[in-house]
């Protein structure tokens, strides 16, 4: 890190910011490099947040929305060239290239630090440098991990306050852990820079527990507690420490007998994770006593417990959800959640100051996501990757177990993605090893959550392709390592809500009706539901699913549950061809 030791440190909002010398020294070094006008240590208080929001409203960073319909809600419009993750500019920087693996872009750590520090030098002149202590997971949870993000973006501060346990309590835990041993917290340095796409990089240094992000204000690139920490660095930590950091929702399914099974499910971005996490069962299920509880919608950390089961926490405290497509039909709980105290990013705006996006309702917005008068000729009113940031505790189906320090026990793991053909509605893996094979072979159509072409089918193992912080070969081996003699591992399933018929339309109705598939999955966990053996795993036949009230033809059911052996042989060959990139690091059970 290039330093100007002679330059005095700028003023800070606190004379004694932290008792942890290691943290104070790092903050001072960053200040000398970036040269901000002022340093602000975030305490996470309501007063601090109120002042920050007011400041952003005054400078146009945030626009206040209709206080009658959306109290304490805000609209942020990002730079039009800064609207999604930039995977081609995201690097994992390990000493050995093979440790990052072919699934990541790699750069030598020394080169990466030099390049990033050159960008950071003097970049915060005229700006405030915010120091954000945060905790991923409940503050007192042994599964939680902490970090500190330094940023010059007040928008990032406001979002991190929602998405993490941020502020004084997190700092106390960091100081407590730091007094016991060094190097315990993740260090994240972020600057908006000039928002120049040609001067934009997100660098991860897993061996140093360090993240450096420059030139983007978009969530996944700038909220460093999210994908950067909670997945890329945490997956590395998890392998070292014997747990799993996964791109998974966590949902509780309570049956009429009052028993709750917790399910972790991995889908690529914009493939229905939030919808499933907040699912409302059909009326006949609700009347029978079924309930669904939301623990998390995006990230899951799992650790083997003393009882041999996997126990999980949601490391996040909020939802950073995709707005377009969210409606009273698709996700009533999400819509109810975001009616107050929410930050909307890149949505449209009605003439009376309400947020709007495609799929919400039939109104015509007044302004698009760029702030222009709405004109369909200019494209959609909301960017396809428009977002909402909101506290998870506002969700009507929010589970009190989300704050349980010990986490929740996982009964089933579900993989899935967008597949228009081949993959049936649901099938069960024969055992844990087969389940790892199923997850490792996942594929899905790309979405607007990442820059690049939309609608292309790509392999996305465990929905972790953009997020695994190390070599996928080692990652698959780590998954396989959990199958020990005393383990009581979850059953593993694969679902596909997106199968299409010859007419190009979705065959399965999806949304709340997915409860019918979850009922079969829970039945398999309890040993109460039957299945049919097939070459790809265990499937229900039509008689094993509760389809009462659904308008599905016999042909549609055959399409949903068909197993095309020739198609699966081709699929297997394609998977094996892609595995070749991992060479000797690919574990034996995934070969051949």
Binding-site residues for GTP: 270-275, 387, 418, 511-514
Question: How many helices (H) does the chain have, and how many strands (E)?
Answer: 16, 30
Task: State the binding site.
Answer: 85, 218-220, 227, 247, 269-275, 298, 385-387, 418, 511-514
Is 93 in the active site? no
Residues 453 and 565: their CA atoms lie apart, in Å, by 30
Residue among 54, 77, 69 at smallest CA distance from 353? 69
Residue whose pair of structure tokens reads 């704050």 in the numeric block: 403
d(CA 193, CA 583): 39
Task: For 117-138, give one letter per residue: b (16+ CB within 10 A) or e.
Answer: bebbbebbeebbbbbbbbbbbb
- The CA-atom distances, in angstroms, between 412 and each of 277, 305, 517 are 14, 15, 13
Choose among 63, 95, 101, 34: nearest CA to 474: 101
Q: How far apart are CA 171 and CA 366, in angstroms?
A: 43
Which residues make up each annotated binding site for Mn(2+)? Answer: 227, 247, 298
Phi and psi (nearest 5°) for 40? -125, 120
Q: Are the CB atoms for 409 and 305 separated by under 8 Å?
A: yes
Percent of the chain that is helix, strand, coil (3-state, to 5):
35, 25, 45
**Residue 11 and residue 300: Cα distance in Å, rounded?**
39
The active-site residue out of 271, 300, 395, 468 is 271
E strand or H helix at 321, and its extent?
Answer: strand 318-322
Nearest to 303 by CA among 489, 99, 176: 489
Instruction: Quote the CA–CA distance of 300 and 294 in Å, as a whole number.
Output: 12
Contact 560, 451 (CB under 8 A): no
Instruction: Kindly give, in sequence order, each residue whose CB lies less than 8 Å from that of residue 449, ignoring residues fewer than 6 positions away.
Output: 84, 85, 220, 268, 269, 270, 322, 385
d(CA 587, CA 420): 30
**Distance separating alpha carbons of residues 476 and 433, to the nearest angstrom:** 10
| CA–CA distance, 229 with 300 (Å, rounded to integer) | 13
User: What is residue 29's three-state secondary structure?
Assistant: helix
Closest Cα partner for 314 from 327, 301, 303? 301
d(CA 592, CA 588): 8
Residue that is written with structure tokens 């973006």 in the block: 153
Phi and psi at residue 510, in whole multiples of 5°? 70, -160
Binding site per annotation, positions for substrate = 85, 218-220, 269, 385-387
Residue 218: helix, strand or coil by DSSP? coil
Distance between CA 91 and CA 105 in Å, rounded?
A: 5
Measured CA to CA, the distance from residue 117 to residue 149 in angstroms comes to 16
Q: Tokens 């945030």 — which residue?
A: 62
Active site residues: 271
């Amino acid at each position: 890190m290039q330093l100007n030791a002679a330059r005095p440190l700028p003023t800070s909002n606190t004379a004694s910011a932290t008792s942890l010398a290691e943290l104070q020294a790092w903050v001072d070094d960053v200040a000398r490099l970036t040269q901000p006008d002022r340093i602000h240590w975030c305490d996470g208080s309501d007063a601090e947040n109120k002042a920050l929001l007011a400041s952003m409203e005054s400078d146009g960073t945030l626009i206040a929305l209709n206080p009658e319909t959306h109290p304490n809600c805000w609209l942020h419009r990002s730079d039009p060239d800064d609207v999604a993750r930039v995977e081609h500019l995201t690097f994992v920087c390990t000493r050995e290239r093979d440790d990052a693996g072919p699934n990541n872009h790699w750069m030598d750590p020394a080169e990466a630090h030099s390049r990033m520090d050159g960008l950071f030098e003097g970049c915060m002149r005229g700006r405030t440098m915010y120091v954000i202590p945060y905790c991923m997971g409940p503050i007192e949870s042994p599964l939680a991990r902490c970090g500190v993000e330094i940023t010059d973006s007040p928008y990032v501060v406001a979002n991190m306050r929602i998405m993490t346990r941020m502020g004084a309590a997190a700092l106390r835990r960091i100081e407590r852990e730091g007094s016991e041993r060094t190097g315990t917290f993740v260090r994240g340095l972020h600057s908006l820079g000039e928002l120049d796409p040609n001067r934009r990089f997100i660098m991860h240094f897993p061996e140093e527990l360090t993240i450096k992000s420059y030139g983007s204000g978009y969530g996944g690139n700038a909220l460093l507690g999210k994908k950067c920490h909670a997945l890329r660095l945490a997956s590395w930590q998890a392998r070292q420490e014997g747990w799993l950091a996964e791109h998974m929702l966590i949902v509780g399914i309570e049956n009429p007998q009052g028993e709750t099974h917790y399910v972790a499910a991995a889908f690529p971005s914009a493939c229905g994770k939030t919808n499933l996490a907040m699912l409302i069962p059909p009326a006949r299920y609700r009347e029978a006593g079924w309930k669904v509880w939301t623990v998390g919608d995006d990230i899951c950390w799992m650790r083997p417990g003393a009882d041999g089961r996997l126990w999980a926490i949601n490391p996040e405290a909020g939802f950073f959800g995709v707005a377009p497509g969210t409606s009273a039909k698709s996700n009533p709980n999400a819509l109810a959640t975001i009616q107050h105290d929410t930050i909307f990013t890149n949505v449209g705006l009605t003439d009376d100051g309400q947020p709007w996006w495609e799929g919400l309702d039939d109104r015509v917005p007044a302004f698009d996501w760029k702030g222009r008068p709405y004109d369909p000729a200019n494209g959609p009113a909301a960017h396809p990757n428009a977002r909402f940031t909101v506290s998870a505790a506002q969700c009507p189906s929010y589970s009190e177990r989300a704050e349980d320090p010990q986490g929740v026990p996982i009964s089933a793991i579900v993989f899935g993605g967008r597949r228009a053909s081949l993959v049936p509605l649901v099938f069960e893996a024969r055992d844990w090893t087969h389940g790892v094979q199923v997850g490792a072979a996942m594929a899905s159509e790309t979405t607007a959550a990442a820059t690049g072409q939309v609608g292309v089918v790509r392999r996305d193992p465990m929905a972790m392709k953009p997020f695994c912080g190390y070599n996928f070969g080692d990652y698959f081996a780590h998954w396989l390592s959990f199958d020990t003699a005393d383990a009581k591992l979850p059953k593993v399933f694969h679902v596909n809500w997106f199968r299409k018929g010859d007419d190009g339309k979705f065959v399965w109705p999806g949304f709340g009706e997915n409860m019918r598939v979850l009922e079969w999955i829970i039945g398999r966990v309890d040993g109460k539901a039957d299945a049919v053996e097939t070459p790809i795993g265990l499937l229900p036949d039509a008689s094993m699913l509760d389809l009462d009230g659904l308008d599905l033809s016999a042909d549609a059911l055959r399409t949903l549950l068909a197993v095309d052996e020739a198609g699966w042989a081709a699929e297997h060959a394609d998977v094996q061809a892609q595995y070749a990139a991992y060479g000797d690091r690919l574990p034996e059970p995934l070969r051949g």
